[in-house]
């Protein structure tokens, strides 16, 4: 499997200048290739005898003219412009396959990055080698073992990072502990409520630093465009945004690492986050939680440890269904945090009851994966398979 390890770099002033220059070359090559792609596409539509644009032709075209028209490209590694054009070709391939939108031009200060192939760099402990620059110090050594595929150097705020992709034959994490199945209910006041009764409130980074964010935003708008004071204010605001993202990401990593380490099967709900963000009263709190990132981390970390995540249909009434007797309420207001089942009389906490129902759906999906009668809200098969015996027979 392909695993990426993102490590912070520790460059000096000369190395920082080189990294910024290489990122600028990659951005220029990407934007030049995108403009040329659009021009050649219009020309090919007008004249069918002309070939359609491709990233291979654009790379050859740039190599033929860069020594005369763009000699400053030779000051950095050749991978920076070439990989940028290759990435543009992949972007168009995804666009034609209706997976992404039409490629857009890269912006300075927002998409500062360049990519190196595996033969263009080396990793030696806490050092990272870049062509025409030399060794750059990194904050930690590479965690994964395997064939190194590529490396992407990027800047976020004022810090540079390198993301090294490794083709690992097997995950380096031990298998999950045998603590059974767990259901997780996502929320706003509490980030995650487990069926075991545990709760993770989440860091709520944006909420805690919102006053500071407003102050720096107002300070930026009062500065004269193009002045040094505005640039300093922009950097301070960018650092604060990066800090908020790091705090949120750290909390999500701690939660997902704890859950995937203990449970081999995890049941979660397929939330419509885009629709939830339409609620103007809860949009900021929902965005501050990071539900999609939480689901993404649960999925790949569970796969590393040999477990799996069961995603329950978003229309399944997990909060309105009694986890003891199965009685379903007709209505349940959002402000109602606990309720008593009229069927069996059990008093339920809304979030814990939903987590238990998600756990039950995950357990039923295990039975349906073996070929037995499973539940519909998890996954429906066109033709239900015949149950398969899990143990070998005595005759075999």
Residues marked active site are found at 185, 269, 351
Residues 390/370, Cβ–Cβ less than 8 Å:
yes
Residues 37/29, Cβ–Cβ less than 8 Å:
no
Cβ atoms within 10 A of the Cβ of 168, count?
Answer: 15
What totals of helices (H) and strands (E) does the chain contain, helices first? 10, 14
Mode of pairing for the β-strands spanning 181-186 and 159-167: unpaired
Burial 338-372 (b: 16+ CB within 10 A, else e): ebebeeeeeebebbbbbbbbbbbbbbbbbebeeee
For 170, left (φ over 0), alpha (ψ -120 to 50), or beta? Answer: beta
Handedness of CA 374, 380, 381, 384 (dihedral sign): positive
For 132, left (φ over 0), alpha (ψ -120 to 50), or beta? Answer: left
The C-alpha atoms of residue 290 and residue 29 are separated, in whole angstroms, by 33
**Three-state SS string across 134-152, please?**
EEEEECCCCCCCCEEEEEE
């Amino acid at each position: 499997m392909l695993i990426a390890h993102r490590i912070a770099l520790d460059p000096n002033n000369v190395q920082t200048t080189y990294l910024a220059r290489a990122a600028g070359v990659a951005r220029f090559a990407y934007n030049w290739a995108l403009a040329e792609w659009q021009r050649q596409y219009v020309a090919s539509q007008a004249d069918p005898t002309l070939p359609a644009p491709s990233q291979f032709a654009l790379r050859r075209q740039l190599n033929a003219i860069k020594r005369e028209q763009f000699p400053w490209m030779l000051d950095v590694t050749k991978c920076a412009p070439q990989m940028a054009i290759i990435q543009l070709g992949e972007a168009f391939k995804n666009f034609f396959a209706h997976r992404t939108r039409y490629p857009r031009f890269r912006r300075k200060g927002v998409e500062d990055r360049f990519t190196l192939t595996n033969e263009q760099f080396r990793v030696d402990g806490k050092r990272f080698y870049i062509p025409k620059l030399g060794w750059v110090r990194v904050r930690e050594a590479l965690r994964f073992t395997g064939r190194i595929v590529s490396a992407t150097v990027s800047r976020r705020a004022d810090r540079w990072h390198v993301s090294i992709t490794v083709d690992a034959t097997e995950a380096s994490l031990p298998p999950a502990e045998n603590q059974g199945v767990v259901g997780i209910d996502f929320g706003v006041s509490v980030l995650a409520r487990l069926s075991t009764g545990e709760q993770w409130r989440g860091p709520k980074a944006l909420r805690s630093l919102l006053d500071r964010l407003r102050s720096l935003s107002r300070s930026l708008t009062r500065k004269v465009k193009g002045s040094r004071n505005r640039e300093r204010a922009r950097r301070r605001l960018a650092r604060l945004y990066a800090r908020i993202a790091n705090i949120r990401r750290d909390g999500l990593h701690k939660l997902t690492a704890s859950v995937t380490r203990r449970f081999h099967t995890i049941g979660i709900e397929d939330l419509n986050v885009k629709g939830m963000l339409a609620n103007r009263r809860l949009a900021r709190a929902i965005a501050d939680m990071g539900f999609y990132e939480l689901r993404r981390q649960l999925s790949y970390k569970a796969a590393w440890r040999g477990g799996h995540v069961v995603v329950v249909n978003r229309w399944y009434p997990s909060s309105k269904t009694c986890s003891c007797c199965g009685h379903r309420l007709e209505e349940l207001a959002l402000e109602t945090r606990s309720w008593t089942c009229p069927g069996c009389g059990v008093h339920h906490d809304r979030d814990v009851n939903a987590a238990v129902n998600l756990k039950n759906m995950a357990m039923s999906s295990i039975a349906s994966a073996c070929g037995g009668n499973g539940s519909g809200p998890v996954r429906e098969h066109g033709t239900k398979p015949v149950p398969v015996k899990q143990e070998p027979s005595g005759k075999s």
